[in-house]
Amino acid sequence: MMREMATLSKFSEDMMGNILSRLPPKSLMRFRCVLKSWHDLIDKPSFVDHHLSISMDNKVTSSTYVLLKHNVLTDPSIKDDEKAVRATLFNPDSNQRDILLSSLNLGSLVDDGLEIENHVVPPPMRGYALSLEISGSCDGLICLNTFNSEDIVLCNPALEEYRVLPKSCILLPPRVPRQFEENEDDDYYEEDDDDEIESNPKCVGFGYDPNSKDYKVVRAAQFVSGVFTQHPSKVEVYSLAADTWREVPVDIQPHGSLNPSYQMYFKGFFYWIAYWTEERNVILSFDMSEEVFHDIALPESGPDAYEYTSIAVWKDSLALLTYPVENEAPKTLDLWVLDEDLKGAKGLWTKHLAIGPLEKGVEAPLVFWKDKELLMVTTNGDVVNYSLDTQKLKHVPRHGLGEPTNIQAVPYVNSIVSIKPGNKIESI
């Protein structure tokens, strides 16, 4: 072994860089500790970029890796007790369940196996089993947030690093409930607090700004007072390079939606399915470089009020999946693809195909992989894979507790892009 290490140490930096750039992140982190020259090489921004480029260009793994967020029991003794399971999901301090980020190599499904690497979500987010969201995945980094708190966390599961973002520059301190006196049936808040303004985060998105070569988080907040009196929204942008939030001007009133798979980062833009004050749905996009919003109209012939709309990427284009809300009959998903400029206010949509009818119990789509495979979730929290070629479902050995909407999946790539200064998360 020592002789092999001595031989490797004589290689030129370019040659070593070419060899090391093909290793997975965990191996690279171990190699950093072998030689100082390797440590310095692996930490170079040019090497990080080269490693990411190779990972994303790998035709085998770049299109088959998915990161799945799901709740799991750590106490198997309660798995058949529905009441106890619900109680542990609602208890933020429960030690009977965890929220996992599972890296799945779905390409291994071909061999009836599944390569899985599990990580527990960072400590600040473990209490939010029913509200935690992945608000963007880019270059191996993911953004975690919950609307029950202003906390936002960036993490790199492959490096087991996470970073809690600093305090918001637009959100107001939460209102403090008044203390009731005995036999008092007054309102929950002080009477003279009716005009006090409250702030509520409405949508969060994470992505990459190719112009400044910086990772950013955008957050829009709604402001209300009294009985839902609306005030102008505010928007802030976080820069990973500067580690600060700053407010940016906004000329729209962004509101998020609650459709499954309603948000996504893609090619310098973050997208949400959003509802408007006129009760019409649109796609709201945020340009990570220009830091401005655009809206894209949905297909004119659909969806209607009785359908969900999920956003996706299919064959390197922005796409929509529309499907019925009700579960009484097997569902059929309609796939729409945007043909015009992504910034266009009037989206030209083409309906490409109908997926299904699916087996009864399939609840919602999660994410496409390899364009011909669609990961979905069932009403009981099981994950299944649908092949557009064979039109058949295949069980994926992953399950999530709670509602199907508590399960999320995003495209993923193993990278060594760091979010230092950070902390360590757990792998299991």
User: 376 pLDDT exceeds 80?
Assistant: yes
154 lies in the same domain as 235: yes
- 2 lies in some domain: no
- Does residue 106 lie within any of the structural domains? yes
Same domain, 56 and 67: no
pLDDT of residue 205: 94
Assess if residue 325 is contained within a domain.
yes
Portion of the chain with pLDDT greater than 90, in percent: 21
203 and 220 together in one domain: yes
| 277 and 402 co-located in one domain | yes
Residue 194 banded pLDDT, cuts 50, 70, 90: low
Last residue of some domain: 61, 83, 99? 61
> Is 185 inside any structural domain?
no
333 and 352 fall within a common domain: yes
Contact partners, residue 38, CB within 8 Å, separation at least 6: 16, 20, 31, 32
- Check pLDDT > 80 for residue 350: yes
Domain shared by 114 and 155, yes or no: yes
pLDDT value of residue 1: 47
Q: For the ranges 33-47, 221-235, 251-265, 343-357, which has the lowest average pLDDT?
A: 251-265
Same domain, 36 and 158: no
pLDDT number for residue 141: 94
pLDDT mean over 329-334: 84
Q: What is the mean pLDDT of residues 118-143?
A: 90
On whether both 375 and 363 belong to a single domain, the answer is yes
Residue 81 domain-assigned (yes or no):
yes
pLDDT value for 191: 47
Verify that 116 and 44 share a domain, yes or no.
no
Indicate whether 177 belongs to any domain. Answer: no
pLDDT of residue 164: 93
> How many structural domains comprise the chain?
2
Pick the more confident residue, 352 or 148.
Answer: 352
Confidence of residue 16 (pLDDT cuts 50, 70, 90): low
pLDDT-based confidence at 426, cuts 50/70/90? low
- Asked whether the predicted pLDDT for residue 46 surpasses 50, the reply is yes
User: How deeply is 387 buried, as exposed, middle or buried, from its count of CB atoms within 10 A (0-12, 13-18, 19+)?
Assistant: middle
Instruction: Tell me what the pLDDT averaged over the chain comes to.
Output: 79
Residue 344 pLDDT:
45
Residue 220 near residue 235 (C-beta atoms within 8 A): yes
**pTM higher than 0.95:** no
Specify whether 77 is located in the same domain as 147.
yes
User: How confident is the model at residue 77, as a pLDDT?
Assistant: 85
* The CA-based dihedral angle spanning residues 396, 329, 387, 118, taken in that order and rounded to the nearest 10 degrees: -20
Distance between CA atoms of 49 and 417, rounded to whole angstroms? 8
CATH number of the domain at 106, please.
2.120.10.80
**Which residues contact residue 244 at a Cβ distance below 8 angstroms, ignoring those fewer than 6 apart?**
166, 238
Q: Do 345 and 245 have their domain in common?
A: yes
Domain that holds residue 377: 62-169+195-424
Do 227 and 277 reside in the same domain of the chain? yes
CA distance 221 to 235: 6
Report pLDDT digits (tens) over 275-325.
654 556 788 889 999 999 888 888 876 555 557 788 999 988 899 988 877
Tens of pLDDT, residue by residue over 245-287, are 999 988 766 565 555 568 899 999 999 888 654 556 788 889 9
3-state secondary structure string, the chain?
CHHHHHHHHCCCHHHHHHHHCCCCHHHHHHHCCCCHHHHHHHHCHHHHHHHHHHHHHCCCCCCCEEEEEEEEECCHHHCCCHHHHHHHHHCCCCCCEEEEEEEEEHHHHHHCCCEEEEEECCHHHCCCCCCCEEEEEECCEEEEECCCCCCEEEEECCCCEEEECCCCCCCCCCCCCCCCCCCCCCCCCCHHHCCCEEEEEEEEEEEEECCCCEEEEEEEEEEEECCCEEEEEEEEEEECCCCEEEEECCCCCCCECCCCCCEEEECCEEEEEEECCCCCEEEEEEECCCCCEEEEECCCCCCCCCEEEEEEEECCEEEEEEEECCCCCCCCEEEEEECCCCCCCCCCEEEEEEECCCCCCEEEEEEEECCCEEEEEECCCEEEEEECCCCCEEEEEEECCCCHHHCEEEECCCCCCCCCCCEECCEC
Ranges 10-24, 85-99, 211-225: which has the least confidence: 10-24
- Give yes or no for residue 343 having a pLDDT over 80: no
Q: Which of these ranges, 5-9, 52-56, 232-236, 323-327, has the smallest mean pLDDT?
A: 5-9
Name the residue among 352, 402, 357, 351 with its Cα closest to residue 377: 402
pLDDT over 70 at 61, yes or no: no
- Per-residue model confidence as pLDDT tens digits over 143-188: 999 877 788 999 999 888 899 999 998 887 776 655 555 555 554 5
More confident residue, 213 or 21: 213
Report yes or no on 187 lying in a domain.
no
Q: Which pLDDT value is given to residue 159? A: 87
Q: What is the mean pLDDT of residues 375-404?
A: 86
User: In this structure, is residue 124 part of a structural domain?
Assistant: yes
